[in-house]
Amino acid sequence: MFISFEGIDKSGKSTQISLLVDWVKQKGYEVVQTSEPGGTGLGEKIEKILLEPSTKEINGISELFLYLADRAEHVEKIIKPALEKGKIVISDRFADATIAYQGYGRRLDIPWVEELNKRATHGFLPDITFLLDISPDLAKKRSGSEEKDRIENEKISFHQKVRQGYLKLAKKHAGRIKVINGEGSVKEIQLRIRKILGKHLR
């Protein structure tokens, strides 16, 4: 089973994934916890380029292809082999992030981005995606004064477009993408996620 977590920066993905991984392992499953960008050796190099503020502004199409290169490598080297061994893969971001950030956020042509995503992933899609939905204002409060990466440094209007993009995706893929209100307590959110996932585990 392939599970992904999505949401704007600081929506609580890492926090919720780490709690969920413990729970799924306790149930006796083998779990591979991974993330984008940067789940592989090449991915880590791409992640640096994408997220270091020193990269400054890059062309939207260059940015798109860097994310796709990271994903193609991630699918081949990490996700596919783990799924073939019957493991549960939990990824912090996957293909939906590219539609939300590069499609809706950077305003690239969405059907085109969807097509490229399909090519990069060989059509691999999560069985279930948890979209942690929070307002960019709250996200900003959560990140406080800590150092921000190149994408986090974008204006609030960019994060607003990304959030709306994610919500549109969730409407379109209502069976797969579960929208979770990410503004409650860590525990509350985790319980909601476990309840939904519990129905998919046997």
| Amino acid (one-letter) located at 95 | A
Q: How far is the CB of 122 from ligand ATP (least distance, A)?
A: 26
Q: How far is the CB of 9 from ligand ATP (least distance, A)?
A: 4
Judged by CB, which is closer to ligand ATP: 61, or 196? Answer: 196
Given the rule CB under 6 A, which residues bind ligand ATP?
Answer: 7, 9-15, 142, 185-186, 189
Q: How far is the CB of 101 from ligand ATP (least distance, A)?
A: 11
Judged by CB, which is closer to ligand ATP: 54, or 185? Answer: 185
Judged by CB, which is closer to Mg ion: 8, or 66? Answer: 8
Residues 12-31 that bind Mg ion (CB under 5 A): 13-14
Judged by CB, which is closer to Mg ion: 13, or 74? Answer: 13
Sign of the dihedral through C-alpha 72, 94, 127, 165 = negative
Q: How far is the CB of 98 from Mg ion (least distance, A)?
A: 17
Q: How far is CA 2 from CA 8, 56, 131, in A?
A: 20, 33, 14
Where does this chain touch Mg ion (CB under 5 A) — which range of 8-16, 25-33, 56-64, 131-139?
8-16
Bridge partners of residue 5, in order along the sequence: 92, 130
9 interacts with, out of Mg ion, ligand ATP, none, CB within 5 to 8 A per kind? ligand ATP
Judged by CB, which is closer to ligand ATP: 59, or 145? Answer: 145
